[in-house]
Structure 1
Amino acid sequence: MKSFVRAGALGLTLALAAAPAAFSQAPPPAADSMFRATTLNLSAYGETKVAPDMATINLGVVTEAPTAAAALSANTEKMNQVMAALRRAGIAERDIQTSGLNIHVQYDYLPNEPPRLRGYQATNQVTVTVNDLSRLGRAVDATVQAGANSVNGISFGLKDPAAAENAAREEAVKALAAKAELYARATGHRVARMVSLSEGGGYAPPPPMPMMAYARAEKADMMATPVSPGEMRVRIDVTGLYELAR
C-alpha cells in the first residue's frame, strides 16, 4: 500500500515506504529503491532586480501618394533623413535594422458605392538598438524631427544577463532548500540528500511597451523625450527531488 500527501501548487509529494506490488518482472534496483524511499518533489523560484543597460525601439515613416511609385519615393527620401539623424544621435549602423517595408492600396468606402481608390501607402519600419540609454530620448526626438511619424514600441533589456541569472539561481536554490527543510520537519523527517535538480525559466526581454505614434514635430528646440528604464526582474524556476530519512 502507498499513501501520498499533496500540497497543491507547492508540488509536494511525500511517498512513504511500502511493500512493492507484484510485478511479472522485477524493476531495476535504482527504480525499486526510489519507490521504497520517502521523497519530496518541490518547486521554487528565485528573482533578482537589475537596471537595464540597453533598449530597442521600433520606428519608421508612413507616406501616402496617388501612385505606389510616388509613395515609395517620398518614403525613401524621408527614411534616408531618419537614418542620418540616428547616426548623428550616436547610433551605430550595425544597430539599425529594417524590420518592415510595405506598400498598401488605400480605398475610400462610401455607403452604397463601390470602393474608390484613394492612393497608396508606403511604410518603412526599422528596429533600433540603443546601447547607451542616455541617448535614447534624444535619438527618438531626432528621428521625429527628421520625418519619422510612427514610433510603435520600446523595450528594455540586458546586454549580458548571465550575472543576473546566476543571482536568481542562488536565490532559487536557497528557497528550494528551505522549503525542503520545512516539509521534512513538518512530517517528522530530515533531509537525507538531494536526488535531482532541474531548472526552468530564465531571462527573457519584456515585450515592447506601446508608444503612441506621433507626427513630425514642428519645433526644432523641443525637449528630449523623457524615458525611464526602471528595473527589470530576472526569474529562475527550479524543481528538486529530495530523499528523506527518519
Structure 2
Amino acid sequence: MKSKRNVLIGAFAAAALLLSTIAITNNNVVEANTSSTDVAEARTITAYGEGAIEASPDVAYVSVGVITEGKELAKVQAENAEKMTKVTTSLTNLGIKKEEIKTTSYSVNPKYVWDDKTGESSIAGYTVSNILEVTINDISKTGTILDAVVANGSNSVNSIRFGIKNQTDLYNKALEIAVKDAKAKAEAMGKGLSITNIQPYKITEASSRNTPVYFESAAMDLAKSSTPISEGQLKVSASVSVEFSFK
C-alpha cells in the first residue's frame, strides 16, 4: 500500500510540475507578443500630404431678383410679379431652361414708422423680394444674361458663383498628388534618422474642397451693356494622412 501511495504522489507532483512549466511558457509567449506589438507600433512615421488641381469652370450660378416697395401690398406684389415674369421670360429667350431657374427666397416685409405724438408705430408700406438662382451652363453667356435680366426689371444681383460640373477626375488627380506629397515628407523625416526603407501602412483621406470664384453685386456696373465677367480658375484640393512603417 505504501508503495502505491508513493507512486501516486510522484505522479501528481510530476503533473503539477508540467502544468507549472506550461503556464510559465505561455506567460513568456504573451509577454513576447506584447513586446513585439509595442515595438511595431512605435516604428511608424505619419505624414500629412496635400494636392491641388486648377481648372477652368464650366458652369455659373447667378443670384438675381426683383425688389419692389410701396404703400399698398397688393400693388407692390403685382408690380413684383410683373417684373419677375419679364425677367424669367428674358432668361428662357436666351436658352435657359425652366429647370435651371429656381426660386431661392420670396418675402413680404412691412415697413414701420414711429409716431412721436402717439408713441406707437404703424405700417407705412411694404417691401416684396423675389430672388432666383439661375444655372448657366454656357458661361460665355454670363455677361449677356446679366444685361438681359437688369434690362427687364431685375434690381438685385447678389452674387455670381462659378463651378465645375464633374469634379471626380480632378479630385482623384489631386489625391494622387497628396499621397506623393505625404511620401516625400515621410522620406525626408526618415532620412534624418537614417531610415530608408519605409512602406505605406495606413492611408486616410483627410478632406476635400472646391474653392469657388465669387463676384459680388456691389463691384459690378450692371447698367453698362455687355457686362464683362472673368470666371478665373478654380482649385480642386485633396489632403491625406499616411502612416509609414519601417524596420
**Both structures adopt the same fold (TM-score exceeding 0.5):** yes
Structure 1 residue ranges (4+ consecutive) displaced by more than 6 angstroms after TM superposition: 25-31, 213-216
Shift of 1:166: 1.6
Look up the match of 1:211: 217
Quick check: 1:85–1:143 contact (8 Å CA) kept in 2?
yes
* Matched-pair identity in %: 29
Distance 1:207 1:231 in 2: 8
Look up the match of 1:21: none
Look up the match of 1:200: 206
**Aligned CA distance change for structure 1 residues 213 and 46 (closer, same or farther; 3 Å):** closer
* Match status 1:184 vs 2:190: yes
Look up the match of 1:42: 47
Look up the match of 1:145: 151
Look up the match of 1:233: 235
Look up the match of 1:174: 180
Distance 2:80 2:220 in 1: 16
Shift of 1:132: 0.4
Q: Which has the higher helix share?
A: 2
Structure of higher CA gyration radius: 2
Number of aligned positions between the proteins: 217
Look up the match of 1:129: 135
Look up the match of 1:77: 82
* Structure 2: tracts of 5 or more residues without a match: 1-29
TM-score with structure 1 setting the length:
0.79
Look up the match of 1:58: 63
Counterpart amino acid of 1:91?
Answer: I
Q: Deviations over 1:93-132 (max 9, x none)?
A: 1110000011000123576754342211111000001010
Q: Which segment is superposed worse, 201-210 or 89-98?
A: 201-210
Distance 2:189 2:220 in 1: 56
Shift of 1:138: 0.5
**Aligned CA distance change for structure 1 residues 157 and 99 (closer, same or farther; 3 Å):** same
Quick check: 1:149–1:215 contact (8 Å CA) kept in 2?
no
Shift of 1:203: 3.6
TM-score with structure 2 setting the length:
0.79
Distance 1:129 1:70 in 2: 30
Distance 1:230 1:28 in 2: 58
Instruction: Give SS of 1:204's match.
Output: strand
Q: Deviations over 1:223-244 (max 9, x none)?
A: 2111000001111011000012
Of 96, 116, 119, which aligns to 2:101? 96
Shift of 1:192: 3.0
* Structure 1: tracts of 5 or more residues without a match: 1-24
